Structure 1
Amino acid sequence: MNPNPLFPTKDTLGINTDLYELTMAAAYFQAGCAERRATFELFTRKLPAQRSFLVAAGLEQALHYILNVTFSDRTLDFLQSLPNFERVDPKFFDYLRKFRFSGDVFALPEGTVCFGQEPLLQVSGPVIESQILETFLINTLNFQTTVASKASRLCLAAGNRGVMDFGTRRAHSPQAGVEAARAAFIGGCQGTSNVLAGFEMGIPVVGTMAHSFVQFFEDEAEAFARYQAAFPEHTTFLVDTYDTLKGVEKAAKLGGKMVGVRLDSGNLHELAVKAREILDRHDRTDVHIFASGNLDEGKIQGLTLADVPINAFGAGTDLVVSSDAPSCDMVYKLVEVFETGVPEPRMKTSQAKVTTPFRKQVFRRLAAGGFDGDLICRCDEEPPAAGEYQPLLKQYLRAGELCEILPDVESIRTYAQEQLALLPSAYKLLHSSEEYPVEFSRELIQARESLQRKL
C-alpha cells in the first residue's frame, strides 16, 4: 500500500475527534435532543505550577475547524461499520451528512493574558453541534496557549535580546511544528526556523547551518567560505563543530560580510566572552553572537543578568514542548441548557472539579496603568460601578457565520506585548509566588451554591 501521511484533511475533519463525542451525539439524537441549545466553556481550572499567567492562542485555527467541520460519505461509512453504532438510528448518519455548525462562539482575543477559571472560548448552539467540537478545540487552544505562554517567559527572561523559535524538529509532529511557530511568535519570539510558518503567516524565517555542512568539507574554513559564497549578505557561522574558539577565529579571519556566529554547546557564558574578544580583535565589532543548545528561561535569564555578550537566543525543544509545563490541562464543560429560550444552569460538583454554571463574561479591572484583578460574571451582568473594567470576551461567530474580522499574527503579537506590558511585574517573574486576583461575582457564587444544594 502507499504511505499514509496522516495529515488531517477537510474530508476527515469530522472524525478527527474522540469516539465519545460521536457516541454522545448519537445518544442526544435518539433522545430527541438534537435541537436543544446548550453552552460549553473551555478553560483551565488552575494555572500550571510553573506559570503565573497564560497567553491565549489558537483561536484562528479553532474557528477554521468550526466553520469547516463536516462528515463525508467515506467517513460516515466507517462510523456505521463500528460495533458501537450497530443499533443507532440510520437517521443519525443522515443528520451528520448535513452537519454544519449553526451556533455562536465567544472567545478571548488571541494574545490576551489570562488566568485559571477564565473561559478562553464559549460555544453556544444545538447540543450535538457544540459537543462534537470539544476534542479539537481543547487540543488546539491547549497546545498553542501552552507554547505562547512558554515563549513569553523565554522572551521576558531575555530582556531586550531576541529569542527565535528553533523547535520544529523536536515538535510532536510536523503540524505541531507549524502551530508552535505561530504560538511562539504570538508569545514574543522574533522569528522561526519553520519555512511553512513564514509562507503561510509571514513570520520572519531565520536559520544558519548544521554541523553536517561543516563536516562535509575537509576543512572548517573551507566550509565557512563555501557558505559565505552562497549567502554573502546573510552569513551566520556555526562555530562549535570542532573547537569553538578556533572556529570563531577562522570565521573572523575569513573577510567579507558576516552577520554573526552561533554557539550551540559548551559553557556559553565563557565562550561568548572569549568569542566577543576574538571578533573585536579582528575589527568585527558589528558581528552578533547567537546562542542555542537546550536553552530554557532559567539559562537565558542567567546569561542575560550576567550581561554576557550574546545578542540573541535560539530556543528549540524546551519551547515547543514546554518542558516544565507541557499542558495547561484545559477542559470543556457544559454550563447551561436552554428551556424555551431560558438558560438553565448546569455544573459539575465532584470534589476538586467543581464548575460554575452559566455563560460568563470576564471583566478586567484597570488601575495605575496596569491590570488590577479580574471579575468573572454572568454574561448579562454589568461590572461594578466603581473602578474601570474592561470586558474581555468577544463574539466571533453568530449563527454559524464569522462576525468579527480576525487580525493577522503580527497584530496578535503586538497585542500580546501590550497585554504583558500591563501585567504587574510581580506576575512576570520566572518564580513568582504572587497569585493574580480572579474572583467570581456574587450572582455567580449564589447560582453555584443554589444549584449545589439541589443536586
Structure 2
Amino acid sequence: MTQEDKQLSLSPEDYSLLTDLYQLTMGACYVGEKIDQQRASFELFVRKLPAGFGYLIAMGLAQALDYLEKFRFSSEQIDALKSTGIFANAPSKFWSLLAEAKFTGDVWAVPEGTAIFPNQPLLRIEAPLWQAQLVETYLLNTINYQTLIATKAARMRDIAGKDTKLLEFGTRRAFSPQASIWAARAALAGGMDATSNVLAALKLGRKPAGTMAHALVMAISAEGNEEDAFNAFQRYFPQAPLLIDTYDTLAATRLLAQRVQQGEMQLSGVRLDSGDLVKLSQEVRSLLPEVTIFASGDIDEWEIARLQRENACIDGYGIGTKLVTGVPVNGVYKLVEIDDIPVMKNATGKVSYPGIKQIYRYLENSQLKQDYLGLMDEDVLNQTEFQTDDFIKLMTQVVQNGEILQKSENLEAIAKRTAISVATLPPEIRSLENPILPPMKISNKLQELTEKTRDKILSGSKGVRE
C-alpha cells in the first residue's frame, strides 16, 4: 500500500487518475481483446430532468476540454497502479498505452449556455475505444455538476428578472473546494452577477462581492449596540452593505435611517438574513427608501417567486445552499457506435438511441417550436413543415484529432447565450410548477436505426438462450 496523502489536494497532473476503477480495468480488457483501437463514439446525456425542472442549461465544456488536453499518465502514476496488484494479469501493452497516453479523438458538443432536454446529447466523444472509455468519469463529474448549477442560476435569474442583483454565496455549502470554484463559474455563466468566492472571482477575472457576517457585529458590539460595528465596517468599506438582523432588525434600521437623514453617513445597502422577509423588507423600505435591500438565507427560485408574489421590497439576493446543492443532474455516458456499428442499451427504463446524433432545433418567432433528435447525416428539414432559416443544429465540433478547434469563451458570452436560450422557451417549460417538456420527435432514420438495432439485439439474445 502507498502512504496516505492527508492533504488530498487535486492538480491537473492528477486528472487522469480521477476516474472510477472500472474505466481502467475495462481499458486493460480492451487491450487484451485487441479492440482498444477500434473507433468508439460515446454520448453524454440525461434520461430525465430533476423534479420540477423543465430544461437544463449545458455547462462544463471548458473544463472538459481542458481535461482532455491534459490527459496523461506519469511514470509515478503507472507505478502506483501496478502497486495495487489489481492489474497483475493486465497485458503489458496496457502499460505502454498509458505511458504514451494522449487524447487523439474528436469531440462534438452543445455550446455552454444552451437549453437542452432529456435524451439530447450534451457532448459526444469519438476516439479509440480505450481513450473514450477512460475519460467518462471526469466528463460526467464536471458536466453534471456545472449543468445543475447553471440551470438553477438561470431559473433564479428568470424568476427574479434582469434588474435584480443575484450573488453566489455557496462556497461553504459546495461539496468540495474544487466544486465551489466550478459552482461559482457555472452560476455566473447561468446569469448571476457576482460570487463571494474570492479565488473563483479572481480566477474568472471578476470582482468578488459580499457583505459582512453577524460575527463582526457581535465582536465589536457585544452588548447589543450595533452602531460601533456599523461605524467600524463603514470606515474601511464605505460601499459595502451592512447586515442588520444580528439583534433587532428594526432597531438597527431606525438607527441607520436617523444617521442617513442627518447626513452622518451614506448607506449603499443592507442585508436581511432571517425573520419574515416580506414584512421586514417592507418596513426597512419605509425607513430607508433609497437604500438597496439584499436578502439571504435558504433562498431559491421558489422562495424568490413567493417573495415577489407577496410584494417583498427586495432588490437582490445572496444565494448559497439551495444553489450549490440539491437533486443532481443524472447525466449518463453511453456507447452509441463501435467500429462503425451502431449499438444501444435496451435495458428496461434505460434504453438509449444508437448511432451518432445531432439535435435539430426549430424556432418560430424566436420561440422554441420543435426539437428533432436525428442522425448526423440526416436531412431532417424534409420531415417538418418549417422553413430552412427556422432551425439550427445544436452540436458543433470542438475538438479534431485531439486538437481544440476554438478558443475558450468568456463568461459574458456564455451568460448572454444562457439568457437568449431561456428566453426562447415557452412559459410552460419555464414554469416552476409542473413544467411541461417541449415536444421532441425522433427522426425517421433514427427511428428506423433504433428498431433495426433492437431487433438485432433481441435476435442475438434468443440465439444465446436457444
Question: What is the TM-score with the length of structure 2 in the denominator?
Answer: 0.92
- 1:281-306 per-position Cα deviation (integer Å, ceiling 9, x unaligned): xxxx3211111111121111111123
2:154 alignment partner, SS class: helix
Of residues 224, 233, 243, the one that matches 2:230 is 224
Equivalent of 2:393, from 385, 388, 391?
Answer: 391
Q: Is the 8 A contact 1:357 1:448 kept in 2?
A: yes
Choose the corresponding residue for 2:314, options 307, 310, 313: 310
Aligned position for 1:272: 281
Q: Out of 342, 346, 356, which is 1:345 matched to?
A: 342
> How far, CA to CA, are the matches of 2:315 and 2:143 in structure 1?
32
Is the Cα–Cα contact under 8 Å of residues 258 and 287 in structure 1 kept in the other structure?
yes
For the residue of structure 2 that corresponds to 1:145, the secondary structure is: helix
Deviation at 1:91, TM superposition (A): 2.6
Matched residue, 2:176 = 173
Q: Deviations over 1:151-187 (max 9, x none)?
A: 1122222124222111111111111111101111121
Kindly report which structure 2 residues correspond to 1:10-409, keeping only aligned pairs within 5 A, or say none. Answer: 10-159=12-161, 160-218=163-221, 219-232=225-238, 234-254=239-259, 255-279=264-288, 285-321=289-325, 323=326, 326-338=327-339, 343-385=340-382, 386-387=385-386, 388-409=390-411
Q: For the structure 1 residues 311 and 138, does the alpha-carbon distance in structure 2 shift closer, same or farther, using more than 3 Å as the test?
A: same
Whether the 8 Å CA contact 1:190–1:204 is kept in 2: the answer is no
Measure the CA separation in 1 of the matches of 2:256 and 2:370.
Answer: 52
Q: Secondary structure at the match of 2:407?
A: coil
Unaligned residue ranges in structure 2 (runs of 5+): 458-466
Letter in 2 for 1:226: A
Deviation, 1:257, is 2.0
**Counterparts of 1:2 and 1:261, CA distance in 2:** 47
Q: Conserved in 2, the CA contact under 8 Å of 1:12 and 1:72?
A: no
Deviations 1:182-225 (A, max 9, x none): 11112111111111121111234210001001111133110100
The percentage of aligned residue pairs carrying the same residue is 39
CA distance in 1, matches of 2:6, 2:65: 27
CA offsets per residue over residues 66-120 of structure 1, 9 Å max, x none? 1101111111111111232011123311210110000000000000000000000
Offset at residue 3 of structure 1 (A): 7.1
Q: CA RMSD in A?
A: 1.4
Task: Tell me the equivalent position of 1:282.
Answer: none
CA distance in 2, matches of 1:293, 1:145: 23
- Kindly indicate whether the alpha-carbon contact (under 8 Å) linking 2:107 and 2:124 is maintained by their aligned counterparts in 1: yes
**Taking structure 1 as the reference length, what is the TM-score of the superposition?**
0.94
After superposition, the Cα gap between the structure-2 partners of 1:423 and 1:400, relative to the gap in structure 1 and judged at 3 Å, is same
How far apart are residue 10 of structure 1 and its match? 2.8
Gaps of 5+ in 1: 280-284
* Distance of 1:116 and 1:64 partners within structure 2: 26
SS in 2 for 1:332: strand
CA distance in 2, matches of 1:266, 1:100: 55
Instruction: Report the residue type matching 1:356 in the other structure.
Output: Y
8 Å Cα contact 1:10/1:70 also seen in 2: no
Q: How many residues align?
A: 442
- Look up the equivalent residue of 1:171 and give its one-letter code: A
